[in-house]
Structure 1
Amino acid sequence: MKFLQDPPRNLFFTGKGGVGKTSLACAAAVQLSDQGQRVLLVSTDPASNLDEVLGTKLANRPTPVAMVDNLWGMNIDPEAAAAEYRERMVGPYRGVLPDAAVASMEEQFSGSCTLEIAAFDEFARLLGDRPATEQFDHILFDTAPTGHTLRLLTLPSAWSGYIENNTTGTSCLGPLAGLQAQQAIYRQTVASLKDKEATRLVLVARPELSSLKEAARSSEELQALGVANQHLVVNGLFTAVDRDDALAIAMQQRCQAALDQMPETIGTFPRTTIPLAGRSLMGIDALRHLGEETSVVANEILEEDSTDTTPEVSTDWETLLEDLASKRRGVILTMGKGGVGKTTIASAVAVGLAQRGFAVNLSTTDPAAHVAATLAADSLPQLTVGRIDPEQETADYRAEVMETAGQHLDEQGRALLDEDLRSPCTEEIAVFRAFAKAVAAGEDHFVVLDTAPTGHTILLLDSALAYHREVTRQASQMPEAVEHLLPRLRDPDFTHVLVVTLPEATPVHEAARLQEDLRRAEIEPFAWVVNQSLTPLAVHDPILRQRRSSERKYLLEVNSLAQRVLLTAWQVAPPTGIEGLRKLVARSEEIDAV
């Protein structure tokens, strides 16, 4: 793999969710370790699956990886990091300050923002504190999906700037003494990110136009931060073996069309191309060979075709849409691992309901989503499309708090409130409030929300209980939408969650964890949607036959987990526009014609 030629000390793997960052990061770590390099592989993703890919149970400290000399792995667990950070901040005051004061400090450190800064604290220590990692030759970061990654990478400047400008010593994070003590490490973190000799950013994308555009957007924003040493990896490029297979030819042409339209900003980057594999990349042996030309054994495929039975799966989207329409209002949430097609499924459901004559608002809380692009230039009179814009929501929230909570403050008090509102936590509060408001709108019509990737979504839902503490610290009253959010989300006649996945190991296992989290929050999924499946299609190409065969075990697993399962077939043409979205959820007898 070209991006491993003359590798710097730090390698970051980033890109739109579901593009294969974890597989590539793991493969790179294994291959560097096999060369005798001492490597630390770190996940900063709250929804990390490093353990599954590497076959080793990891923790929030470097752990030796089984079957690979010289390789250690670790997950930055936000909750564990937050607990350690909280105790580091509060512990010294136990027995010194009154119990009530200590309890107040603990409450200040119990919000979702503490999770983020604590995880970043670990990240900065690994990147900016050289003595802490001097035993390793290379550190590889398997980062979270793009939106979270960008926030993570901008935090060094954001937090250090906030520390330098904060004059009161307090914020939504509580006392800033712990952060101030880290300023030297944070400065070194920023310097390391910008150093071409120290850091290389590996932009991972699929040969799909939306994925390549997302990589270009990430590249531009990261270059603006000074991260200039960038390498593009196009992962999963398909080349048809069977030239008589119309579906295979169409898939190859779709890949090539996306590459032909690649944004100029990344088109000139050094590039590595990884061929589409016939199977999921699990286990050390598969990782050692990632990047090599894919081969399949015909006899193996024929044996699998003859011994495995195709699991029962439903393509009856008509009934599901009719069941949703019978409610005549409410909220539909699409959730799942990044890159599984939540935006597309949300758009298709919105179109289906609008075509039945219902007023529908389609919106997203995911900064990396492109709902409007999915619908293209088409429109339906009953359908409106919107987006929860973090920047606009934050600006509106700050203005509202200054107008209400700051109305009767003196000049010094307003200055302190304005300073508090400049903290990086304010965006989280503002977006959360907008999410609650969007859910409340479902009382009057249908609202379809394309939510953020799993980790962020669950953090958003978990915040409902802690939000009251945070918002009332700055504002005088709890918004009605927030007060009734959890009851609305838990009402099965009002909220319907569609868990979206792909017929592959990691997306299915991630969806299973999501379902467990939802059930702990007393939210029962309405249905699972298995997206981009080859199972209902007639394929002859050996690579595609192998991929279709490998879907079976995961479809059986989904059937054992879900109360209701819907299948969508892989589409020859990208499912954009009203007609493309309609075909995506067509009746089962239409699939062969799609």
Structure 2
Amino acid sequence: MHYLDNPSRNLFFTGKGGVGKTSMACATAVRLADQGRRVLLVSTDPASNLDEVLGVTLGNQPTAVPAVSQLWAMNIDPEKAAAEYRERMVGPYRGVLPDAAVQSMEEQFSGSCTVEIAAFDEFARLLGDASATEDFDHIVFDTAPTGHTLRLLTLPSAWSGYMETNTSGTSCLGPLAGLQKQQAIYRSTVESLSDAERTTLVLVTRPEASTLREADRTSHELRELGVQNQALVINGMFRATDPTDEVAVAMQSRCESALETMPSGLSGLQRTEVPLAPQGLIGVETLRRVGQTHGDSSELPKRSDERVTLIESLPTLELIDQLAAQERGVIMTMGKGGVGKTTVAAAVAVALAERGLKVHLSTTDPAAHISAAMAADEISGLTISRIDPAEVTEAYRQEVLSTAGADLDDQGRELLEEDLRSPCTEEIAVFRAFADAVAEGEDGFVVLDTAPTGHTILLLDSALAYHREVSRQTNEVPESVQKLLPRLRDPGFTRVLVVTLPESTPVHEAERLQQDLRRAKIEPFAWVINQSLASLSVHDPVLLGRQQSERPYLQEVMNQHAKQAVIIPWQSTPPIGLDGLRELMKSEAIC
């Protein structure tokens, strides 16, 4: 890991969901700690799985990792941080102001923006307040998927700018006094992020065209934010050891093709290539071996004729038959970032459209790749769109100004425009666009490729907060928003496909997602287990190891979590364009 030759104090890991940010962050933290450095490992991801990887229960305070001397870890829990932040803001007024006034303040602090700013408040304290981390030599941040990370990194400027120009004393976060106290820390945070002596941004990617493109975009956007000191980690590099193993040869070919077309913006970065591990990176001893080549074949699995035994999975075409039978409604693909939600959504949309059905494929994912999955092909009856935050926010601003602002005097209009510049306006606009997309399911099929799990749950949970917030700007709550939750909870209208990989973290994250959905009274329709090696004929030792490690997770999904499930095998050819998407829906896992 070249970025550890002369490591900076702060190390940031970011990248598209599912590329191995947590694994790389954990391996880096363990290696630094083993060298005698005092290290704090922090997750700012709403869907963190540090606990599982390190084998220790974590909270929002540093906890020693028993297996690694000198290493401490913590999760910034957004909901808990929001509750503590809310109490800091509201607590001093209990017993002082009337109960109704206190309740109103609590409502102001109950929206999704409060969750985000509270989590950022904790993040800023660690990065911008030197006294908070003075006991540590290095701070390693395992960050959220790309879209959320970029939003997190732009918040210092967004919130600082908003506070400096806001004159009303209130915002979507309630009274601004509490935020004003944090401005010095926020300013220090911005300085730390852009100081190459103090901070290194490690872009984690895989040897795949889409993740390399995403890393390039992230690199460019971070440079525009002033974060210049960047390094690149390509995780999961694979080289076949036996030319007769067709799957292994195809996997190596896919890696080589992706690297040959790697965007030029990444070529100048210091690069570390990490070999594909023969098992999931769970546990400290496994993390210590990250980056090592698998030269000792005695430690690797041997070829076996034994097959994975499972209960019968649902054929993919039968799943499409079930979905097509309702003739309209919403189909949502949900799951941890990087599991293939976009690809599955695009494949389902194509399969439905080719049956003569009207289908609209859309995404709320800020790091979406639907256009890449579909390539340049078109199909009759299928329309494709993306909910672009900038576009929907500007449209929402203009609508509010032309309606609620139409009869205001100059001072009132100025206050409204000021309110519409708050970072929360984007949340409202995107949420409404999501509700509008769901409403289209009344007239045909809408297939929604949703954002990574944490963001999606915040989006679904924000319905009531949206009502409260939008009432500050306009009294009109669109019908699509009013009917959103009933539509999502109607199993005859909305079908949720939980997408996962046959690995520990994606499966357990999907299980938590299913629990969250059920708490929201939304019942998943089926699980899709993507990129499985279980049914393929392989004898490369690394692939054998991964194939064997899938077994308990496939059985767990099929026997414990899913009412019905589809297993999609790993594809030798990347599933892009119409032919690739058609093949994905035809492929069957016979286990």
Whether TM exceeds 0.5 here: the answer is yes
Deviations 1:107-162 (A, max 9, x none): 10011110000000000000000011101100010000000000000001111111
Q: Report the 3-state secondary structure (helix = DSSP H, G, I; strand = E; otherwise coil) of the residue aligned with 1:474.
A: coil
Q: CA RMSD in A?
A: 1.4
Kindly indicate whether residue 245 of structure 2 is the aligned counterpart of residue 245 of structure 1: yes
Give unpaired runs (5+ residues) of structure 2.
none
SS of residue paired to 2:425? helix
User: 1:404 deviation in Å?
Assistant: 1.3
Contact 2:17-2:336 within 8 A present in 1 as well:
yes
Change (3 A) 1:85 1:18: same
Question: Where do 1:38-49 residues align within 5 Å?
Answer: 38-49=38-49
Alignment check: 8 A CA contact 1:43 1:74 kept: yes
CA distance in 1, matches of 2:305, 2:94: 65
- Structure 2 partner of 1:356: 355
Greater displacement, 383-392 / 315-324? 315-324
Structure 1 partner of 2:158 = 158
Specify the alignment match of 2:58 in structure 1.
58
Post-superposition offset of 1:391: 0.3
3-state SS of 2:56 partner:
coil
| Contact 1:334/1:497 (8 A) holds in 2 | yes
Corresponding residue number in structure 2 for 1:106 = 106
1:504-519 matches, cutoff 5 A = 504-519=503-518
Identity score, percent:
68
Task: Report the CA distance shift for 1:299/1:140 in structure 2 as closer, same or farther (over 3 A).
Answer: closer
The 5 A counterparts of 1:67-86 are: 67-86=67-86
8 Å CA contact retained: 2:300, 2:541: no
Note the 1:180-259 alignment, pairs <5 A: 180-259=180-259
2:334 maps to 335
Residue in 1 that maps onto 2:537: 538
* Residues in 2 aligned to 1:22 and 1:511: alpha-carbon distance in whole angstroms: 17
Partners of 1:224 and 1:580 in 2: CA distance? 36
1:101-500 pair list within 5 angstroms:
101-295=101-295, 297=297, 301-302=301-302, 306=306, 309-314=308-313, 316-500=315-499
By how many angstroms is 1:470 displaced?
1.0
Distance in structure 2 (CA, Å) of the matches to 1:18 and 1:294: 22
Alignment of 1:26-41 (within 5 A): 26-41=26-41
1:523-565 per-residue CA deviation (whole Å, 9 max, x = no partner) reads 1100000001111211121111111111111000111210001
* Secondary structure, aligned partner of 1:503: coil
Is contact 1:406-1:414 (8 Å) kept?
A: yes
Report the alpha carbon displacement of residue 295 of structure 1 after superposing the two structures with TM.
4.9
Tell me the SS of whatever aligns to 1:579: helix
Instruction: Tell me what 1:562 maps to.
Output: 562
Alpha-carbon shift at residue 88 of structure 1 (Å): 0.6
Q: Any unmatched runs of 5+ in structure 1? A: none
Separation in 2, partners of 1:143, 1:365: 20
- Superposed CA deviations along residues 415-435 of structure 1, whole A, max 9, x for unmatched, are 001001101111111000000
AA paired with 1:190?
V
Q: Note if contact 1:296-1:546 (Cα within 8 Å) is conserved in structure 2.
A: no
With over 3 angstroms needed to count, the CA separation of the structure-2 counterparts of 1:303 and 1:371, relative to structure 1, is closer
Q: Distance in 2 between matches of 1:386 and 1:241?
A: 43
Q: Residue 225 of structure 1: CA displacement?
A: 0.5
Give, as a single letter, the amino acid of the residue that structure 2 aligns with 1:93: Y
Is 2:278–2:300's contact at 8 Å kept on the other side of the alignment? no
- Indicate the SS of the match to 1:74: strand
C-alpha deviations, 1:241-296, integer Å up to 9, x for none?
A: 11111211111011000001000001111000000001001101011111111357
8 Å CA contact retained: 1:350, 1:383? yes
For the Cα contact (< 8 Å) 2:329–2:493, is it kept in 1? yes
Aligned partners of 1:299, 1:48: CA distance in 2, in Å? 30
Contact kept, 8 Å, 2:303 with 2:541, in 1: the verdict is no
CA contact (8 A) 2:496 2:526 kept: yes
SS, match of residue 462 in structure 2 = helix
Task: Report the secondary structure of 1:585's partner residue.
Answer: helix
Query: Is the Cα contact below 8 Å between 1:315 and 1:587 reproduced in 2?
Result: no
In the alignment, the residues of structure 1 paired with residue 169 and residue 526 of structure 2 have an alpha-carbon distance, to the nearest angstrom, of: 48
Partner Cα separation in structure 2 for residue 201 and residue 294 of structure 1: 28
- What is the distance in 1 between the residues matched to 2:319 and 2:65? 44
Residue type of the alignment partner of 1:287? L
> Aligned residues, how many?
590
Shift of the alpha carbon at 1:588? 3.1
Distance 1:588 1:279 in 2: 24
Contact kept, 8 Å, 2:569 with 2:588, in 1: the verdict is no
Q: 1:314 Cα deviation (Å)?
A: 2.4
- 1-structure distance, mates of 2:220, 2:314: 40
Instruction: Give the Å deviation of 1:81.
Output: 0.6
Assess if the C-alpha contact under 8 Å between 2:303 and 2:544 holds in 1: no
8 Å contact 2:569–2:587 — kept in the other structure?
A: no
Deviation at 1:312, TM superposition (A): 3.2
Q: Which amino acid aligns with 2:412?
A: G
- Code of the aligned partner of 2:482: E
Cα separation, partners in 2 of 1:503 and 1:20, compared to 1, 3 Å: same
CA contact (8 A) 1:343 1:374 kept: yes
CA contact (8 A) 1:242 1:542 kept: no
Runs (4+) of structure 1 exceeding 2 A deviation are: 294-306, 312-315
Bigger shift: residues 538-547 or 73-82: 538-547
Residue number in structure 2 paired with 1:95: 95
Match of 1:548 in 2: 547
Q: Is the 8 A contact 2:300 2:542 kept in 1?
A: no
Letter in 2 for 1:139: I
